[in-house]
Structure 1
Amino acid sequence: MFEGYYGIAPVSSLEEMLTLLEYGDTAFDLVLINARLTLNVRFNLLAFCLDHPLIRQAFIYDVPEYRLARLGAQVKTRIVFSSMQLPEGVPIKQLIHKVDPPMLNEPAHKTVSHL
């Protein structure tokens, strides 16, 4: 369990992420995705995250600075972009509270995937 979340499913490639989400049947409340997984392929990560029924919210990190401005113009409430290379420690706690603010009567556990 991590910060009240469970169901952590680390993957190391775009193919693994797609397989996990294609054959999965459990939605992820928060998916952490390294943007560099898609740098060398034509893949619209934003559209994928917005359209996929198993991704409720996504944090896409390690986004190159030149892409942040363009993505910032497409700000979506469910998707957060960052140039941070690796979210961990205090920044990951702040991220979770930013992406998934505490609410009254919320479930004790959530699912999260770090891709």
Structure 2
Amino acid sequence: MPNKSLRILIADAQHFNRLRIERLFNQLGYFRVAPVQSLDELLPLVEYGCEPLDLVLVNGAMASGALDLLNFFTDNPQVHHVFIFNEQQAPLPPVAGNVQVSQAALPDLASITQLMSAVDRRLPFVGTVISVR
């Protein structure tokens, strides 16, 4: 059963992309999802939020040289987990501390399911067989 109190933030300039990603989270039972469309909206929410965010998904193309997303989010106390997608700068490590990086244009249901197994510790690990007796 998903932890419905997790705070998830989606940052993408395209409304359709934000909506599509939010619906993937809704399919998995997560409804506390907030979308933002720019770095100008994202940065104050991260820096001045009263509670840390559990997960931030951000389109790497949004930064476009204005901000080093990997350095900004690595070990940032205001964010527990980060998933940077559509990151075209190479070479970046796929995982650095609390940050995961993907070159995929958009996360799909499988990648979000795997991501949530790390974020939501109440869920069983993806691929785990749970026996019912």
TM-score (norm 1): 0.70
Change (3 A) 1:34 1:12: same
Aligned to 1:37: 62
Q: Which protein is bigger by CA-based radius of gyration?
A: 2
Return 5+ residue gaps in structure 2 as ranges: 5-25, 124-133
Equivalent of residue 76 in structure 1, options 96, 99, 103: 96
Equivalent of residue 100 in structure 1, options 107, 110, 119: 119
Higher RCO, 1 or 2 (CA under 8 Å, sep at least 6)?
A: 1
Deviations 1:4-58 (A, max 9, x none): 54531110101110121233112111111110110142x1211211243211110
Instruction: Measure, in 2, the Cα distance between the counterparts of 1:75 and 1:92.
Output: 15
Aligned to 1:19: 44
The 5-angstrom pairing of residues 43-62 of structure 1 reads 43-62=67-86
Instruction: Note if contact 1:61-1:84 (Cα within 8 Å) is conserved in structure 2.
Output: yes
Shift of 1:61: 0.4
Instruction: Measure, in 2, the Cα distance between the counterparts of 1:5 and 1:83.
Output: 24
Shift of 1:83: 0.5
Aligned to 2:128: none
Shift of 1:103: 5.2
Identity %: 35
| Displaced runs of 4 or more, over 4 A | none
Counterpart code for 1:12: Q
Q: What's the C-alpha RMSD, in Å, of the aligned pairs?
A: 2.4
Report the count of equivalent residues.
98
Return 5+ residue gaps in structure 1 as ranges: 105-115
TM-score (norm 2): 0.61
